[in-house]
Amino acid sequence: RCDVYVCMCVCVCVRACVHACGACGACVYVFQVPLCIDSSKFAVVEAGLKCTQGKCVVNSISLKEGEEDFLQKAAIVKRYGAAVVIMAFDEVGQATTAENKVEICTRSYRLLVDKLDFNPNDIIFDTNILTIATGIEEHNKYGISFIEAVREIKASLPHCRTSGGLSNFSFSFRGMEAVREAMHSVFLYHAIKAGLDMAIVNAGNLPLYDDIPKELLEMCENLLWDRDPDGTEKLLVYAQTMKAGNKKAGPTDEWRQEDVEERLSYSLVKGIDKYVVEDTMEAHHCTEKYPRPLNVIEGPLMKGMSVVGDLFGAGKMFLPQVIKSARVMKKAVGYLIPFMEEEKQNRINQLREENPDVESEESMYAGTVVMATVKGDVHDIGKNIVAVVLGCNNYRVVDLGVMTPCDKILNTAIEMKADIIGLSGLITPSLDEMIHVAKEMERRNMKVPLLIGGATTSRTHTAVKIAPRYKSPCIHVLDASKSVVVVSSLLDDVSKEELMEDVSEEYEDIRQDYYESLQERKYVSLEVARAKSAQLNWSSFEAVVPTFCGTRVFHDYDLSTLRKFIDWKPFFDVWQLRGKYPNRGFPKIFNDKDVGAEAKKVYDEACTMLDMIIDQKLLNARGLVSFYPAQSKGDDIIIYQDLDALAAGTPLTTLYGLRQQLEKEPGSVDPYYCLSDFIAPASSGKVDYIGMFAVSAGFGVTELCDTYRSQMDDYNVIMVKALADRLAEAFAEELHLRVRRELWGYSRDEDLQTDDLLKIKYDGIRPAPGYPSQPDHTEKTTMWHVTDAFAKTGIELTESLAMTPAASVSGLYFAHPSSTYFAVGKIQKDQVADYASRKSESLETVERWLSPVLAYEPA
């Protein structure tokens, strides 16, 4: 089980750490992901903290060098608002017994909380998972010691987290992967019950606890609990009967000999849909046992899905497996629906007439959840995954789709008697819409818990901006696996009270830390930032002239040419498949001993679908690219229709920029960047150029997804959307290559491999409005006006300036070799007021669009 997904930054020197953290902060895929800075040299850790935006995790500190050193390092970690892993080490050495582990962790906790007022929610104790079965007798109790220590720490040290590196536990059996994975599964099964919050282990190849062969399970249990003095030798003998490093033979159809209930449960847990309609039909015909079709759902089908939900919640199943289980469930229910509809009017109505208190068919659900992507936003892959996972756990999910107005969400929740409302969004304007929904729920005096999720959301934003607007529960949910835990807790009176007490306390701490951090951070005035802008040598600069000025449109772009430009890492992220070093990237992820097999399976299925999409032309890609003469003026870029218009001083439009204001470290010579720094200033007398683009691979996605929905196939609905997103990004990558080599031609001799393209080893950048280099989404309206993008491509902007189809990408092209990605970060009111004046917008309007980057609280 893993509570947090992070981007690990493991560095050995300050320079490498600064470079790595800067690269993470500049990448549009990475900058929103929590960063874990891992180094044995604390100077490297501190360097990473200085250039990391948002909250990160430090791995690690301990009492190894004494209390003074420990507190000094912890104070630095706190200053930067990071969480920290505390190892169970002290001046004597590594803790091995439960008593010693608890003693060191308690001492560390008291030092942090009492002397530094360190937020206990940011303390993660790693109490050392050590190797058992080494042949040394005292090592045999290491597993017991860890579990007992975790149990005591969770009971006695409020709000802290616990973690551990699991691979150490089975190191004595290296090379015997089937045995090691069984040991890991058994260990996690008991450690999670004791309170283990997270572990360094990928769950993809972990066997289900209940699927471990009885003989092997008994041996692993005996080893963990030190019940058999000959346990190590017995397990070695057992392992020798298996091929080293291999698992047992694949599944057979022996399970088909079981009774129908067991067959249905097996199909659901294993995601096998081959026989599910046949078996559901058989169960339906067992009228003595299941007189109504609803009884089949409430009985064997819900029993099987309950197992799926439990296994996923315990980290024993992966997301693709859960989605496939949901597909099996939908096919089974799909068979039963006509029979349920047939009896609906006569049986249910008849029973209600006889007894008004009789349970309805909705009573089979654990609760009702109304979910929606908020108004103006079109992204819903994450929401769809959460809906499937909740459905697997016996919740009725009412999915209102995308771009859903506030009134529709709330009215539906009232009509459906919803137990939970879930809001999702990807673009930053969605954050304001979520605030609006919370305010409206409060105005209507609603009491329904509100869950917040989506790529642009965060626990901090929820705590600071949304939760204060709604008196009833308002909770940020990190990912699909957390949704089940939160929803189930909110629907249980006892658990709800405990959860809300914890959340309220945690959010109050977050708000306090947030406002304190605003006061602690130092900013320079806009005047100073402009004086320290990037100073490029324009005297010798001569711009490369694009091959055309104006717009070129691409209809029905060849998808087969985009295939080799696909960056597969975000695809695996959608499925929550993450390899660990050195197997993090594509295709190295296939070598990962934990997630490799599942990743390869999902990838092969994706390639099969991609073949079908390309061969049958199921999706259509369109786009455009434009080039215009341009010059900068301060923080803005003046664009001209052509050279004649430039000579006449007749601008076509202006792109407005924002400049960094967060004060640099003392002695730093880094400039305060703005995108206009990369365009020749008008005062230089030089003519420069800028490009714009908008591309989409999402035309046809709705129709294809509707086809799969009609087949009750959520797995392929998500697969289609994930592939369309990848194709859109590949389109942007391939078109940028053509721009550099051909259409603009400023790097005609460029010869880079795909991996180098994805690592941005080329000259020039393509930043997008709404992202770190220019966080204002409203600049997209200028692009759409200049290029007439909607009329020429069909790519439309919503009222919140999301692009639809959702699988769309747009941005600007800068050609200067010194242009670089950067994050504007938080900005002060002097710049916001100046920006509003330049754009001829009200301060209130600009503050609303820029709310995520304001370094102050608007009036």
How far apart are alpha carbons 51 and 390 in whole angstroms?
A: 38
How far apart are alpha carbons 205 and 248 in whole angstroms?
A: 13
Write out the E strands in 205-310: none
For residue 500, what are the contacts with CB-CB under 8 A and spacing of at least 6? 473
For residue 443, what are the contacts with CB-CB under 8 A and spacing of at least 6? none
CA torsion through residues 640, 642, 645, 647, sign: positive
Cis peptide before 291 (omega within 30 of 0): no
- In one-letter notation, the amino acid at residue 206 is L
- Facing residues of 637 across strands? 632, 655
- In one-letter notation, the amino acid at residue 332 is A
3-state class (DSSP) for residue 38: strand
**159 catalytic per annotation:** no
- In one-letter notation, the amino acid at residue 708 is Y
**Rg of the chain taking only CA atoms, in angstroms:** 29
Q: Is the CB of residue 546 less than 8 Å from the CB of residue 689? A: yes
Residue of 265, 325, 424, 430 with catalytic role? 430
Residue of 184, 379, 476, 816 with catalytic role? 379
**430 catalytic per annotation:** yes
CA distances to 296, 338, 347, 353, 778 from 350, rounded to whole Å, are 21, 19, 5, 5, 57
DSSP secondary structure letter of residue 275: S
DSSP secondary structure letter of residue 297: I
Residue of 377, 513, 635, 714 with catalytic role? 377
End-to-end CA distance of the chain: 43
**377 catalytic per annotation:** yes
Q: Is the CB of residue 266 less than 8 Å from the CB of residue 247? A: no
Question: Residue 441: which of 474, 463, 464, 465 has the closest Cα?
Answer: 474
Question: Residue 27: which of 782, 696, 573 has the closest Cα?
Answer: 573
Question: Residue 780: which of 265, 275, 376, 175 has the closest Cα?
Answer: 376
DSSP secondary structure letter of residue 539: T
Q: What are φ and ψ of residue 595, in 5° steps?
A: -105, -5
Question: Residue 473: which of 439, 510, 447, 511 has the closest Cα?
Answer: 447
Active site residues: 377, 379, 430
